[in-house]
Amino acid sequence: MTKRILILAVFLALLAATLWAWRESGFLPFAAKHPAAPQGGDFTLQSVKGPVSLHDFRGKVVLLYFGYTYCPDVCPTSLALIAQSLKQLPAEEARQAQVIFVSVDPERDTPQKLQEYGNFFYPGTLGVTGTPEEVAKVAKQYGVMYRKQPVTSAAGYVIDHSSYTYIIGRDGSLRSKVLHAAAPAEMVRAIRSALKP
């Protein structure tokens, strides 16, 4: 029994050391550095038409997604899910929703590029970005994890990032989040729940 306790103690110590190292490296900014549930909140970033704030869309349900245009698979899958879900709604309900795509790759993603990329998936999608510091601040508000990883391809690097669609209510409050692998029906339920008074 004593041997088992000793093994468990060593395991827990190693686990704690690993988590501390990840925390210090920035690899787990949400889970380790920001253990509280994401609070959401207002923000202002740059679009192709100039500064855009979340409060500009009060009265609508906002589907907020963080990603980047060079993303090889996760972002296209998530944006396609958002588009598919909105197309399942009656036109009157869909008009009450706004998709905002926030780039976590401000070095490569211009507002113009984001706009074109977002509209490829769903017309009216608003692409926004800012300085690295501005993007990091908004990401922290929503508990978004992301980290640049070098690769040997021509792209130079990829960005590992968490992948949730954040559902913002008509009053600007964070209502729920939907994982990128969710079924469209789950996204539809989340949108309709947020549309309710």
Residues 137 and 96 in one domain: yes
Integer Cα distance of 109 and 32 in angstroms = 28
Give the residue numbers spanning the domain of 190. Answer: 37-195
Residues 64 and 109 in one domain: yes
Integer Cα distance of 89 and 106 in angstroms = 32
Residues 149 and 54 in one domain: yes
Could you give the count of Cα atoms lying within 13 Å of 139 in the half-sphere of its Cβ? Answer: 28
At 113 the pLDDT is 97
pTM of the full structure: 0.80
Run of H or E residues at 192: helix 184-195
Closest CA to 155 of 69, 48, 44, 52: 69
Residues 132 and 66 in one domain: yes
Phi, psi of 117 (to 5 degrees): -65, -50
* 56-91 burial: b if 16+ Cβ within 10 Å, else e: bbeebbbbbbbbbbbbeebbbebbebbbebbeebee
DSSP characters for 52-104? EEGGGGTTSEEEEEEE-TT-SSHHHHHHHHHHHHHHHS-HHHHTTEEEEEEES
**What CATH number is associated with residue 169?**
3.40.30.10
User: Which is more confidently placed, 169 or 149?
Assistant: 169
Chain segment 95-134, per-residue pLDDT in tens: 999 999 999 999 999 999 999 999 999 999 999 999 999 9
Residues 68 and 149 in one domain: yes
Chain segment 57-99, per-residue pLDDT in tens: 999 999 999 999 999 999 999 999 999 999 999 999 999 999 9
